[in-house]
Amino acid sequence: MQLTLNSPMDMHLHLRDHEMLKTVAPLSAHPFAAAIIMPNLVPPVTTLQMVEEYKARILEATADETFEPLMTLFFKADYDYAFLERAREHISAIKLYPAGITTNSQDGVSSIDSEQLAPVLTAMSDLGIPLLVHGETDGFVMDREKEFVPVYETLATRFPELKIVMEHITTKESVEALKRYDNLYATITLHHLLITLDDVAGGLLNPHLFCKPIAKRPEDKAALLDVALSAHPKVMFGSDSAPHPQHAKESCGCAAGVFTAPIALQALAQLFEAHDKLDNLQPFISDNAQRIYGITPPEKEVILIKEPFTVPEKYGSVIPMFAGETLPWRIADVS
Amino acid sequence: MQLTLNSPMDMHLHLRDHEMLKTVAPLSAHPFAAAIIMPNLVPPVTTLQMVEEYKARILEATADETFEPLMTLFFKADYDYAFLERAREHISAIKLYPAGITTNSQDGVSSIDSEQLAPVLTAMSDLGIPLLVHGETDGFVMDREKEFVPVYETLATRFPELKIVMEHITTKESVEALKRYDNLYATITLHHLLITLDDVAGGLLNPHLFCKPIAKRPEDKAALLDVALSAHPKVMFGSDSAPHPQHAKESCGCAAGVFTAPIALQALAQLFEAHDKLDNLQPFISDNAQRIYGITPPEKEVILIKEPFTVPEKYGSVIPMFAGETLPWRIADVS
């Protein structure tokens, strides 16, 4: 049994920098044709020079692969129109983080006042630059995303031509909002399609499945599966694959993030096949994103076959999801 | 500033066995006059010989302290009346675990069918032996206790003379059930009065605050604080202090349990003082339990004074709650 994916894209990817970049970038660049690269480095990517230098480091790390890093800027309220007009040639989107909400987001915006942000958002809307949002408040961990939905609604209403991507959604409330507003889109990770809080803290505590936003309730996972498996036209795959060295995951005070990049296509094939929805994987993994972003990724054909694939225990210092487990699909060829 | 507690009791305590028992038993026996000792050893404590031998090991480990271990049996549906009549002289209660729900509960009851359990529960009711219950289903981690409330209600209605203690309650639904049924009582831990899921998984993942039942929502903590700080007459302190070696807490797949025994009185003094309820600590920590269980613990006077107490980083191999932090109250004298 065989499955061909054309130009799969990861619309939410953390590649980090330095040694970690060298470890993880090739693992995404091999099976994926392109990926939206998150800008939350330390310091965050806020100038076009930083964008170009980071892109060069990514391309160096992925040298032998056909792979297009789709660069982003870290949202700042003081970007002006002229800057954004230039930026449009260098980036695919701008990512907004509420301050302090996730890894390396200390420099994010401290309050999402749509009037205060209006100049930038109006310019982005005019210039056709999508706004990507980490949509969580600083409330109780299980409520943070749900509490953020009114912010999405305000933004969607106030800037009706702005494409707003609700990143890594995890709740049924976000799925409902997505359907209510024409200009709201969403990425969904692999892990949020597979796990709930039960998998993180229901038995023994599992730091490798600890992520932000935290995995939610069974009914939330069901709502995500519904739109992902049906390849809802406003939904895209975004792994949010977030590598941390083993020691940072397993020590006391574990960092948030699940590393899925090298196993995402195989696990998605398994998931979509289990629900008899294999035909919908292509739009979920590429076509929807091409249409939403208006981009054409490099041509890349990924052939998966139904043969056992034992996930490595580690990639460098990073432990992937399903480490040591055997998945039923493997990547047979990339061309 | 000084506070005197008379014969404080810990109505839910794990002392484990062997080396761990030797490490932790003196830490409870010093400040507490008595404690209800959980029977979930490996294998569980199910015979009177095991009760007496375990009690002897505890007394050996606590040799120099005035401390009464109030022993319990691990609930079995096949205990008969004659056995329970003899048992009454050796134990203070019987602890029921749904199978597989927490540490060393594999041998618990696999379904709580009140008719199947009726012979034992009727005998316990007739003999005045309290039933202590770990009240969780095998459902979604945040719902397990709430889903168990109907079981408590069935038991309370079917066996109206049986004293039923809802152990380590963590939800507002349990607090409401407690108030609705005359024969329902509850223990509350220190940590569930202080933390929510936010403290476990809201920032970095904190394995040392991972416990079963898992810490719940802010409104749940508020409901617990309400009955604890007011020393509701059906509520008792039970630490559920549960030592695990450091490696079992900090490795991948962390064990559930918070170790609070040596810092519980100091932290409770801080909490009750912060809410201007210091007068209610005595009934919460001893008087309510004496009345509910109909017991008189050994006389022990514990004097706390408001001077800084820096919690040790470790007791043996066990990391306590507040390790390395400084609390405002310390134990000045025990006599």
Instruction: Answer whether residue B110 shows pLDDT above 70.
Output: no
Q: Tell me how close the Cα of B225 comes to any Cα of chain A, in angstroms.
A: 18
pLDDT in tens, A155-169: 999 999 999 999 999
Instruction: Answer whether residue B249 shows pLDDT above 90.
Output: no
Q: Do B141 and A256 touch (CB under 8 A)?
A: no
Domain of residue B330: give its range: 2-334
Q: Are B211 and B260 within 8 A, CB to CB?
A: no
CA atoms of A93 and A73, how far apart (whole Å): 7
Of A218, A249, A253, the CB nearest to B206: A253
Active site positions of B, annotated: 240
Of B142, B204, B251, the CB nearest to A197: B142
Task: Dig out the tokens for A236 from the structure.
Answer: 């895209």
pLDDT in tens, A168-181: 999 999 999 999 99
Of B198, B254, B256, the CB nearest to A141: B198
Instruction: Answer whether residue B107 shows pLDDT above 80.
Output: no
Instruction: Answer whether residue A279 shows pLDDT above 90.
Output: yes
Confidence of residue B247 (pLDDT cuts 50, 70, 90): confident
CA atoms of B312 and B149, how far apart (whole Å): 38
Q: Tell me how close the Cα of A261 comes to any Cα of chain B, in angstroms.
A: 21
CA atoms of B55 and B49, how far apart (whole Å): 10
Q: pLDDT over 90 for what percent of chain B? A: 88
A324 chain-B contacts, CB cut-off 8 A: none
Section A183-201 average pLDDT:
97
CA atoms of A183 and B118, how far apart (whole Å): 60
Q: Are B285 and B35 within 8 A, CB to CB?
A: no
What is the model's pLDDT at position B64? 85
Distance of alpha carbon B254 from the chain centroid? 20
Q: Are A28 and A241 within 8 A, CB to CB?
A: yes
pTM of the model: 0.92
What is the model's pLDDT at position B252? 66
Average pLDDT, chain B: 95
Confidence of residue A16 (pLDDT cuts 50, 70, 90): very high
Which of B205, B210, B250, B258 to mutate to probe the A interface, most A CBs <10 Å? B205
* Cα dihedral sign, B144-B147-B150-B151: negative
pLDDT in tens, A229-258: 999 999 999 999 999 988 887 766 778 899
The residues with which A2 forms a beta bridge, in sequence order, are: A305
Q: Which residue has the tokens 């559920």?
A: B240
- CA-nearest of B178, B169, B277 to B234 is B178
CATH assignment at residue B34: 3.20.20.140
Task: Dig out the tokens for A210 from the structure.
Answer: 């600890």
Q: Are A175 and A217 within 8 A, CB to CB?
A: no
Q: Tell me how close the Cα of B15 comes to any Cα of chain A, in angstroms.
A: 21
Q: Do B253 and A206 touch (CB under 8 A)?
A: yes
Angle of CA points B246, B248, B250, to nearest 5°: 65
Q: Are B240 and B167 within 8 A, CB to CB?
A: yes
What is the model's pLDDT at position B103? 74
Q: Are B315 and B26 within 8 A, CB to CB?
A: no
End-to-end CA distance of chain B: 19
Q: Which of A143, A198, A240, A279 is catalytic?
A: A240
Section A266-290 average pLDDT:
98
Number of domains, chain B = 1
CA atoms of B135 and B174, how far apart (whole Å): 9
* Residue A332 covered by a domain: no
Strands B326-327 and A330-334: unpaired
A205 chain-B contacts, CB cut-off 8 A: 205, 207, 210, 253-254, 256
Q: Which residue has the higher pLDDT, B116 or B160?
A: B160
The residues with which A333 forms a beta bridge, in sequence order, are: A303
A256 chain-B contacts, CB cut-off 8 A: 204-205
What is the model's pLDDT at position A109? 74
Confidence of residue B104 (pLDDT cuts 50, 70, 90): confident
State the DSSP string of B155-180.
HHHHSTTS-EEETT--SHHHHHHHHH
CA atoms of A150 and A137, how far apart (whole Å): 11
Confidence of residue B99 (pLDDT cuts 50, 70, 90): confident
What is the model's pLDDT at position A110? 67
Residue in chain B lying closest to A206 (CA) = B253
pLDDT in tens, A65-90: 999 999 999 999 999 999 999 999 99
Examine residue B160 and say whether the peptide bond preceding it is cis (omega within 30 degrees of 0).
Answer: no
Instruction: Answer whether residue B114 shows pLDDT above 80.
Output: no
pLDDT in tens, A128-158: 999 999 999 999 999 999 999 999 999 999 9
B204 chain-A contacts, CB cut-off 8 A: 253-256
**Biggest alpha carbon–alpha carbon distance for chain A:** 54
Instruction: Answer whether residue B51 shows pLDDT above 80.
Output: yes
Residue in chain B lying closest to A195 (CA) = B140
